[in-house]
Amino acid sequence: VEVNRQGVSGIFSPIIERNTTVPVSRVETYSTMHPEQDSITVNVYQGENHKVKNNILVESFDVPLKKTGAYQSIDIRFSYDINGLLEVDVLLEDGSVKSRVINHSPVTLSAQQIEESRTRLSALKIYPRDMLINRTFKAKLEELWARALGDEREEIGRVITDFDAALQSNDMARVDKVRRRASVYLAIETS
């Protein structure tokens, strides 16, 4: 996705990085450039260069925004499967979702194959923070923190901060890694 950072345009913001195991679904949060912005353009690129001009433009589409007089957060989720099907979901602050399906399969997929791929991808579109295992683990961490004192409480607080950061990243592999590491360290049962 192409983004502007500190007034510099044309910066590449990878959502699904190379060598990621597929199927995969990842989301990143972006914000509008100014409070009265009435649309965003989502440019989808393939490549690894920091500058978008050196990557391959795959698709571009506009998403209208409601003028709110404030900056708006936008979640952009990419879900990709082994068949070359890419779903791009743009979640706006008002809860509406604009979706685009991009088919880059090297072979022609039937309507049924596309629908089956989309069904499999939809199962991946769960935020880690909403998964029962993570909600339960977070509750256990908060319970431990409430019972602890002094240095132990401080250490558990750091674990909670790390886990919250992992949840915010929406990277399930990172969440699992932090949860496993914290479980061993704190001797918490995670299942």
Backbone angles phi, psi at 173, to 5 degrees: -65, -40
Whether residue 191 lies inside any domain: the answer is no
Whether residue 10 lies inside any domain: the answer is yes
Residue 149 Rama label (left phi>0; alpha psi -120 to 50; beta): beta
Do residue 74 and residue 156 come from a single domain?
no
Do residue 48 and residue 121 come from a single domain?
yes
Residue where one domain finishes, among candidates 76, 99, 125: 125
CB 167 within 8 A of CB 174: no
Residue where one domain finishes, among candidates 108, 125, 142: 125
Do residue 74 and residue 151 come from a single domain?
no
Number of domains in the chain: 2
Do residue 71 and residue 163 come from a single domain?
no
Whether residue 26 lies inside any domain: the answer is yes
Whether residue 103 lies inside any domain: the answer is yes
Q: 69-83, 103-117, 152-166, 168-182: which has the highest mean pLDDT?
A: 152-166
pLDDT tier, 91 (very low <50, low <70, confident <90, very high otherwise): very high
Do residue 120 and residue 174 come from a single domain?
no
Do residue 112 and residue 24 come from a single domain?
yes
Q: By C-alpha distance, which of 104, 101, 98 is closest to 64?
A: 98
Q: By C-alpha distance, which of 93, 87, 98 is closest to 58?
A: 87
Average pLDDT rounded to a whole number, residues 129-137: 90
Whether residue 52 lies inside any domain: the answer is yes
Residue where one domain finishes, among candidates 79, 101, 125: 125
Average pLDDT rounded to a whole number, residues 81-102: 90
What pTM did the predictor assign?
Answer: 0.65
List all residues 6 or more positions away from 149 whose beta carbon is below 8 Å from its beta carbon: none
Do residue 144 and residue 87 come from a single domain?
no
pLDDT of residue 50: 85
Do residue 72 and residue 155 come from a single domain?
no
Do residue 69 and residue 141 come from a single domain?
no
Q: Could you tell me the end-to-end alpha-carbon distance of the chain, in angstroms, rounded to an integer?
A: 36
Do residue 133 and residue 116 come from a single domain?
no
Range of the domain at 182: 129-186
Backbone angles phi, psi at 162, to 5 degrees: -60, -45
